[in-house]
Structures are given as structure tokens and as C-alpha cells.
């Protein structure tokens, strides 16, 4: 946390704040600077969305893209989502930011004819105010994007909240035809009952397990294989995140992951780059 706060200070270009004298003061000032940046970016529409390709495990052709939110400091340096999203959540702004992501990304994808899917990350906090389902419905309606082309990604931490309300919202989204994926599988409180209860369409195996294929091949392989079998048995599709090498790719496909995502196939980038990018391998 302290490292993150100091990171904010640097990212916000406020390393001069050390003049406050105490590390605590520096941290609080850095935090306020980051909060101000998040508020300003929302007001002035300075958030951006980058898109990372998702490829078919066998053909390696692009089947979709994941929308990833981007924010820069006043000095122009990228601030990682892992830093600014929790701040947006605490400020009570994540629903508004999330709605902007949904509207912007669905509008962009409705214009792409080839039918590739759009994946959008949701914060658990977006399930708390009752706005999520109407927001998704409106984004689909206004953009004209078919619901079947939208997939929403949720991390396991979501499931700690009021489960009845979450369950009803997920059911409403599924009824619209939207896909639901469990993101970063294996890193949180991976309870089997969650997978069962919320009826996910897809599991995204966290990139830490994919990375572990290099360091601890047998164990990582066993965990991934078991997850794939579990997901398949429950009728889910499987994506592997963080694929960086051809060796990982071949093994993950062999283990049954139908979609792969990672730097091997493309880094997140602006939508304007789509026509210039060659993801073929
Ligand atoms: P995530 O949903 O698990 O997204 C995948 C993350 O892995 C992205 O980080 C992506 O840039 C990174 N990644 C993809 N391929 C590779 C690879 O081959 N190697 C490595 N080392 N990394 C890879 P990013 O963009 O920093 O996003 C971090 C997290 O922030 C996301 O994790 C997601 O949980 C959250 N996030 C991003 N955009 C949004 C958003 O619009 N709303 C919400 N609520 N959360 C978001
Ligand atoms: Mg995700
Ligand atoms: Mg993920
Ligand atoms: Mg992740």
C-alpha cells in the first residue's frame, strides 16, 4: 500500500510532495492528487480504452477483444488500472466510469462488421447500486451491438457481497443474451459454489498460472488441466490469460483452452490501430 501511494505521487508528477516532511503526509497528498486526477479525467472525458485481442486456441485467428481502461497522469505517464480503479471505487465513481466504458466500447464494436466479441471488465461495486442492468441494456440498445457479442468479466471478489442481488443481476444479464466470464480464476476465493451458483459462461485462468508453466511446469500443468476439466464439466468455455510464448500457447491449447490472450498475440492498443495490426501467427 505504501509503495502504491508513493507510486501515485510519482505517477502524478508530485515527487516534490516530500516537502511535507513525513511519509504519511506525502502518502495522503499523493492519494489526494490521484483522486483529483480520476475526478478530472471523468469530467473532461480523458479516460481511454485500449483493446487486446483474444484468439482462437487452434487457428489463432482473432475472435474478440478485451476492453482495458487507461488513464494518464497530468504529466502524461500511464497510471496502472490496479492503482486507479480502487480509487475510483472508493470515490463512488466506478459505476459512472464503467457506464462510459460500456457505452464507448459497444459503440466502437457495433461498427466492426466481422462479429468479433467485446469483453468488458466489471467492478464488484457496479453490482451495488442497481444501475448495472439498465446501463448494459441501454448501451446495447443505443449502439445496436447484439447482446451475444458482449461478454462481461467479473472477478471472484464480487462474490463476497449480497449474493441474492448479484445472482438476480447476473440472471438478468444472461437473459439479455450477454455472456458472463469469471476473470482471474484461481487468485481469489475460488469457491466451487460460486461457479455453480452464478452459472458463468467462461472461466479466464489467471496469468500467474500460465507464467508458472515456465517455472513449475508439472504443477502448473496439473492445476490448469484440472481447471479446464472442471469448467468443461460445468459447461463453460476456457480462456488462458497472459500467454507470452509459443510453448505456453501450444500446451494451453492441448489442455483444452479454447481462447488465448497475451502479449504473444498482441498488447492492448487503441482501436485506431486495428487495421494496422497483424496478429497472425
Ligand atoms: P484483467 O481483466 O485480468 O486484464 C488483463 C490484464 O493482463 C491487463 O492488465 C493486460 O494488459 C494484462 N496482460 C494481458 N496479456 C498479458 C501478458 O501476456 N503478459 C502480462 N504480463 N500481462 C498481460 P491491465 O490493463 O493493467 O489491467 C489490470 C486490471 O484492471 C484488469 O485485469 C482488470 O481487472 C482491471 N480493469 C481494466 N480495465 C477495467 C475497466 O474498464 N473496469 C474495471 N472495473 N476494471 C478494469
Ligand atoms: Mg478481464
Ligand atoms: Mg484477467
Ligand atoms: Mg488478471
Residues 223, 226, 227: CA angle, nearest 5 degrees: 85
What was the ipTM of the complex prediction?
0.98
98-133 burial, b for 16+ CB within 10 Å, e for fewer? bbbbbebbbebbbeeeeebbbbbbbbbbbbbeeebb
Give the closest ligand to the alpha carbon of residue 122: 1
Instruction: Please state the atom number of ligand 1 nearest to the C-alpha of residue 81.
Output: 30
**Measuring from atom 2 of ligand 1, which residue has the nearest CA?**
121
Pocket test for ligand 1, best of 90, 121, 129, 156 (most atoms within 8 A of CB): 121
- pTM of the predicted model, to two decimals? 0.91
**Measuring from atom 13 of ligand 1, which residue has the nearest CA?**
242
* Rounded Cα distance, 68 and 269, in Å: 9
Q: What is the pLDDT of residues 83-115, one digit of tens each?
A: 999 999 999 999 999 999 999 999 999 988 778
**What pLDDT does 196 receive?**
79
Q: What is the pLDDT of residues 5-63, one digit of tens each?
A: 555 556 555 555 444 467 888 889 999 999 999 999 999 999 999 999 999 999 999 99
Amino acid at each position: 500500500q505504501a509503495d502504491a501511494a508513493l507510486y501515485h505521487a510519482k505517477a502524478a508528477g508530485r515527487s516534490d510532495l516530500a516537502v511535507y516532511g513525513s511519509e504519511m503526509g506525502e502518502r495522503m497528498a499523493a492519494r489526494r492528487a490521484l483522486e483529483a486526477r480520476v475526478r478530472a479525467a471523468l469530467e473532461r472525458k480523458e479516460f481511454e480504452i485500449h483493446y487486446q485481442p483474444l484468439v482462437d486456441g487452434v487457428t489463432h485467428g482473432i475472435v474478440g477483444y478485451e476492453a482495458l481502461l487507461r488513464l494518464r497522469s497530468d504529466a502524461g505517464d500511464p497510471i496502472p488500472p490496479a492503482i486507479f480503479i480502487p480509487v475510483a471505487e472508493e470515490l463512488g465513481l466506478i459505476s459512472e466510469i464503467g457506464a462510459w466504458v460500456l457505452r464507448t466500447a459497444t459503440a466502437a464494436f457495433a461498427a466492426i462488421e466481422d462479429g468479433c466479441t467485446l469483453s468488458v471488465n466489471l467492478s464488484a461495486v457496479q453490482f451495488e447500486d442497481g444501475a448495472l442492468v439498465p446501463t448494459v441494456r441501454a448501451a446495447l440498445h443505443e449502439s445496436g451491438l447484439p447482446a451475444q457479442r458482449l461478454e462481461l468479466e467479473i472477478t471472484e471478489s464480487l462474490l463476497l457481497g449480497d449474493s441474492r442481488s448479484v445472482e438476480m443481476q447476473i440472471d438478468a444479464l444472461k437473459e439479455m443474451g450477454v455472456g458472463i466470464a469469471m476473470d482471474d480464476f484461481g487468485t481469489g476465493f475460488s469457491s466451487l459454489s460460486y461457479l455453480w451458483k452464478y452459472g458463468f459462461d467462461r472461466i479466464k485462468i489467471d496469468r500467474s498460472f500460465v507464467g508458472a508453466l515456465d517455472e513449475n511446469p508439472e504443477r502448473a500443468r496439473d492445476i490448469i488441466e484440472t481447471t479446464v476439466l472442471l469448467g468443461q464439466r460445468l459447461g463453460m468455455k476456457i480462456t488462458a490469460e497472459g500467454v507470452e510464448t509459443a510453448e505456453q500457447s501450444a500446451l494451453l491449447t492441448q489442455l483444452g483452452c479454447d481462447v488465448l490472450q497475451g502479449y504473444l498475440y498482441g498488447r492492448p492498443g487503441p482501436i485506431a490501430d486495428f487495421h494496422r495490426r497483424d496478429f497472425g501467427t
